[in-house]
Amino acid sequence: MKVLTAEQMREVDQLSTNVLGIPSLTLMENAGFNLFLAIQESFDELEDLEIAIICGKGNNGGDGLVLARQLITRGFSPDVFLLAARTEISADAAVNLNILEKSNYPVFEITSGDEWYAAAANLGIYDIVIDAILGTGITKPLRGFYSQVVSDINETDAFVLAVDIPSGMFSDSVERPPLSIWADLTVTFTAPKVAQVLGEGIEAEGDLIVAPIGSPSELMDKPEYFLNLLTPELVSLRCLQRARSSHQGPYGHVSVRSGSCGKSGAASLSSFAALRTGSGLVTALVPEAVQGQVASGHPEVMTAGYSETDQGTFSASAAKDVLADLSGKDAAAVGPGLTTHPETIQFVHSLVRQSKIPLIIDADGLNAFSQETAQLVNEHGSPLILTPHPGEFSRLTEKPVSEILRLPVETARAFAIDHSVWLVLKNFRTLVATPDGQVFVSPTGNPGMATAGMGDVLTGVLTSAVGTSVAQGASAPEDITAAVCFGVFLHGLAGDLAVEEINENALVAGDVIEFLDAAFETLSNH
């Protein structure tokens, strides 16, 4: 599903009208009807409820006026407020206002703070308030008259439905606005907007419904519309049904290069997560000193030990043997729990440069390239999948974390294009940026997953997803993208299912592994 900026949304609406001949009034009519359907589905006894529709002067207000008519024709009597003079409203909104006026239905015109003050005294009588005040075009904080209206609505106990976007939210920004409507439900049209899937103020939208209003989906298939929202329907296509005649081969053999003295748990978590994600065989490649600890954790995981430094980390000389052991593997990971010992950094550089299979790079595998991103090159053209959190990404890009959090899509996309890698930027909404400039947002995951070892689990999940894809002959760039997106979504979904039974404060990485089976089951039903 495409995620659009305000400008892109305007372009789609204009193309729908100017190129395809769909009247803008038809789009507005469909928007208003979808608002009615949303209200109808939210309340069993709508006829017993008091409804206020508060409209601005733009097309957002016009959508609210259509909703008013949809309710009126079905026997309801909403109170309709227009926060502008009739002469100021948009052309399409004016058409719908005229229809109401010709039917002698009252619309209360409010053009000043004093008039609003009088109207607001009765806000407490309403069970439902429709926010049709401001749409996706605002870029500055609310002030004056509108700020008072929004504040008063937020103080009511009414169920608030926002039309397209909560008034006051900046459509294209991930930053929390100083003031916006706090909605219980938002009905947005055609496609979600950037703030609705990535914004810090995402809680203000309540539940989100994306309603089609008539713009054909092919209008959004432009490459420059590069931001996408992952959906269960899309990623469920990766859920394999195993044939009764199956053996281990078709599901891939992957390896995880991880661990060091004191950090053997990283190897255990990532390798076992790979098994739980469906790999036929998983081998944990670890320094000799920790092989016994990793082998005792999960007997299903094979292990191999390699030469180490005096601190129990991979030595530089281990790279040759590890690369030889990658023969016959379908994907590999490097990074969890490695440390940044100078010899271990050399080890990582050798693997990244010479690997002949897709490589997932996490944690200290990423730290090995801090201020040396020019070395992030594979001489065989094998896919490199990087999985940094904002701190690790800051070290890679030499950009402050604050800038990365303010511009996550832009920075992730630029890095993926510049370095020809897949970049998984982990945050409260994890992004997958691809070498061809597409960016995918995963809606799964929760605050309970902000705990030690969760990235190790993701590494194992991604390694398995990519390895299984390669083992079955799907290794083109679009196949790697699909596998990575699947792994990110699945990992977050397992975490979401886990917190239904485990409090967020008590959630640990191992819990997510245990709920991978439930995540598979959930996706298989889509």
The pLDDT assigned to 359 comes to 98
Q: Verify that 469 and 324 share a domain, yes or no.
A: yes
Q: What is the pLDDT of residues 119-150, one digit of tens each?
A: 999 999 999 999 999 999 999 999 989 999 99
- Determine contact, residues 162/42, Cβ cutoff 8 Å: no
Contacts of residue 313, Cβ cutoff 8 Å, sequence gap at least 6 = 260, 261, 287, 338, 339, 341, 343, 344
**Residue after which a domain boundary falls, among 221, 238, 269:** 221
Count of CB atoms situated within 10 Å of the CB of 217:
12
Distances, alpha carbon 503 to alpha carbons 317, 445, 452, 511, in Å: 45, 14, 16, 11
Q: Verify that 422 and 490 share a domain, yes or no.
A: yes
| Burial zone of 291 (CB within 10 Å; 0-12 exposed, 13-18 middle, 19+ buried) | buried
Q: What is the pLDDT of residues 10-58, one digit of tens each?
A: 999 999 999 999 999 999 999 999 999 999 999 998 999 999 999 999 9
Q: Verify that 271 and 203 share a domain, yes or no.
A: no
Q: Verify that 201 and 267 share a domain, yes or no.
A: no
Question: Is residue 486 in some structural domain?
Answer: yes
**Residue after which a domain boundary falls, among 170, 202, 221:** 221
Bridge partners for 108 per DSSP: 81
Q: Verify that 256 and 214 share a domain, yes or no.
A: no
Question: Is residue 1 in some structural domain?
Answer: no
Looking at the structure of the chain, the number of domains it has is: 2
Question: Is residue 241 in some structural domain?
Answer: no
Contacts of residue 375, Cβ cutoff 8 Å, sequence gap at least 6 = 349, 352, 353, 369
- Which CATH number characterizes residue 157's domain? 3.40.50.10260
Question: Is residue 247 in some structural domain?
Answer: no
Q: Verify that 64 and 171 share a domain, yes or no.
A: yes
Question: Is residue 235 in some structural domain?
Answer: no
Question: Is residue 245 in some structural domain?
Answer: no
Q: Verify that 217 and 287 share a domain, yes or no.
A: no
Q: What are the residue ranges in the chain where pLDDT is below 50?
A: 245, 247
Find the domain containing 206 and state its range.
Answer: 6-221
CA angle 383, 300, 448 (to 5 degrees): 70
User: Which residue, chain included where needed, has tokens 């589905």?
Assistant: 41
The pLDDT assigned to 182 comes to 98
- Determine contact, residues 361/334, Cβ cutoff 8 Å: yes
Q: Verify that 217 and 282 share a domain, yes or no.
A: no
The pLDDT assigned to 361 comes to 98
The arrangement of strands across the sheet holding 185-189 comes to 107-109, 79-82, 51-55, 128-132, 159-163, 185-189, 207-211
Distances, alpha carbon 259 to alpha carbons 292, 368, 495, in Å: 12, 15, 24
The pLDDT assigned to 283 comes to 95
- Which CATH number characterizes residue 427's domain? 3.40.1190.20
The pLDDT assigned to 245 comes to 47
Q: Verify that 196 and 265 share a domain, yes or no.
A: no
Q: Verify that 200 and 346 share a domain, yes or no.
A: no
What are 34's two structure tokens?
């979808």
Among the listed residues 61, 74, 71, 65, the one whose alpha carbon sits nearest the alpha carbon of residue 36: 71
Question: Is residue 28 in some structural domain?
Answer: yes
Question: Is residue 464 in some structural domain?
Answer: yes
Share of the chain above pLDDT 90, in %: 87
Q: Verify that 141 and 201 share a domain, yes or no.
A: yes
Q: Verify that 205 and 341 share a domain, yes or no.
A: no
